[in-house]
Amino acid sequence: MELSSIIRKFIMALSGLFLIIFLITHLVINSLTLASSKDLFNEAAHFMATNPIIYAMQYVLALGFIIHIGMGIKLTIQNKRARSQEYVYNRMSKNTDLSSRSMIVSGGLVIVFLALHLRDYFYQMKFVGLPEGTTDYDLVVNLFTNPYYTAVYVIAFIVLGVHLNHGFKSAFQSMGANHKKYNPLIKIVSTAYSIVIALGFSTIAIFHFINQSSIL
Amino acid sequence: MDLILKVWRQKDSKAKGKIETYQISGISEHSSFLEMMDVLNDKLIEDGKEPVAFDHDCREGICGMCSMYINGQAHGPSRGTTTCQLHMRSFDDGDTIYIEPWRSKSLPVIKDLVVDRSAFDRIQQAGGFISVNTSGNTQDANAIPIPKDDADKAFDAAACIGCAACVATCKNSSAMLFVAAKVSQYSYLPQGEVEAKDRVVNMVEQMDKEGFGNCTNTGACEVECPKGISLEYIARMNREYVKATLVKEK
């Protein structure tokens, strides 16, 4: 059965909001690495890895990513097809902002980052196993001794923030939540959320880089 | 004013079009964009060339016929105006102006700047009406009380002239703003409410069948709409549609 365009938008919005909730959880747990004791983060990581509900949620999360990415690609292909000939001269910057126009580009970059990120952590923790005498905390923190790696992560977080800035408020519009009274609030929360995510993750990465380098 | 015009010329729907350059001089800044096009066509006819085909009718901004993509924007640089209401004072002497037809697979070019907008007619035919017995004893519409707010919102939606600037400007060629306006103008009113579920489902189905793209909420349509139709109507249609598909038995 071919889904209608509005249902597709709904699926995009729902899966997006689900990933938005995941990201904030991820940020909260990662921020525990800022504590002076390694145990706090290690305990949280242990809980996340062993709790049966959270274990099951891993699959739901993977499904959320697959649906959101798959649908995003499908929508983009359809949308490109809907205009077989491009304008010779088109000034899209006059009526839209960059983050809303470049969702597939920012999304694509996030996928590339996601692949790198899964290789760095998920794959190491699940399949390779931690080296003798090290903890989850060490795995997270050690990566940020490399300045290039730290830079790649920070750039990815900024791109993610751009993606979220449109995505958050767009999800509400797609699901029919457009109300004069609440629109300003949705917009503020959307911007605040994307800044918190981009800045939060970046801060953690930069903190560990500086903490382990000899510059200070 | 002296201008350089870069106009899309295309012989017919099958031909491959291209941009042609024309120099035009002595244009009054008080003339409308279409009057400037008339002057260009007069000159082309005098020179024994084929005039530029473009859509126009009322020339007072209410018929929805004119449809040019001017300097990269639907209906040109002014907000809330149709091409016929755009005046040459919005440009500077010596400007180069690009003039193209609407671009969408669902609105194919017939000739030059004229596109076939019958996809909109078919969407309208799928549900843009109310079923009323008009045998002679029709009830006066004003006999049914309607809250002022609802009447205003229905009227604002009905202001859509079906020009298709929304499709033209949308990076996805989505017709959501048009369809949302046409759905809402009825569903806000008691006369339209009874058929609201079928209407929204049928019109959206027809819209998808016509091959328009999917809305990604960039908001370009709302900015370029000459009648200022709000994105609120798209959100409302999304609500209506999802409710209707959940409830409907077929």
Q: Which ipTM was obtained for this model?
A: 0.92
User: Could you tell me what percent of chain B has a pLDDT over 90?
Assistant: 92
Same domain, B131 and B237: yes
Query: Above 80 in pLDDT, residue A152?
Result: yes
Report phi then psi at B24, rounded to 5.
-135, 140
CATH number at residue B174: 1.10.1060.10
Q: Note whether B98 contacts A166, CB cutoff 8 Å.
A: no
Q: What residue in A sits closest to B172 (Cα-Cα)?
A: A79
Task: For residue B183, give how far its alpha carbon lies from the nearest alpha carbon of chain A (Å).
Answer: 14
What's the domain range around B137? Answer: 117-247
Name the 3-class secondary structure at B153.
Answer: helix
Ranges of each domain in chain A:
5-84+98-212
Give yes or no: residues B103 and B124 share one domain: no
> Is there a single domain that holds both residue B34 and residue B133?
no
Compute the C-alpha angle A153/A156/A159, nearest 5°.
155
pLDDT value, residue B230: 96
Query: Which CATH number covers residue B55?
Result: 3.10.20.30
**Chain B interface disruption, residue of A4, A6, A92, A186, most B CBs within 10 A:** A6
Single-letter code of the amino acid located at B198:
D
Q: Mark which of B79, B110, B141 sits at the end of a domain.
A: B110
- Nearest chain A Cα distance for residue B170, angstroms: 9
Distance, CA of B219 to CA of B236 (rounded, Å): 15
| Domain identity same for B14 and B32 | yes
Which one of B110, B142, B170 terminates a domain? Answer: B110
Of B77, B110, B143, the one marking the end of a domain is: B110
**Per-residue model confidence as pLDDT tens digits over B195-223:** 999 999 999 999 999 999 999 999 999 99
- Judgement on whether residues B100 and B148 belong to the same structural domain of the protein: no
Laid out side by side, the sheet with B73-74 consists of B18-24, B3-9, B96-100, B69-70, B73-74
Q: Which of A121-130, A155-164, B82-91 has the lowest mean pLDDT?
A: A121-130
Verify that B54 and B153 share a domain, yes or no. no
Do residues B100 and B121 share a domain? no
Tally of domains in chain B: 2
Q: Rounded mean pLDDT of B61-86?
A: 96
Q: Give the CATH number of domain A5-84+98-212.
A: 1.20.1300.10
Residue A129 has pLDDT above 90, yes or no: no
Tell me, yes or no, whether B50 and B134 share the same domain.
no
Cβ–Cβ below 8 Å for B6 and A7: no
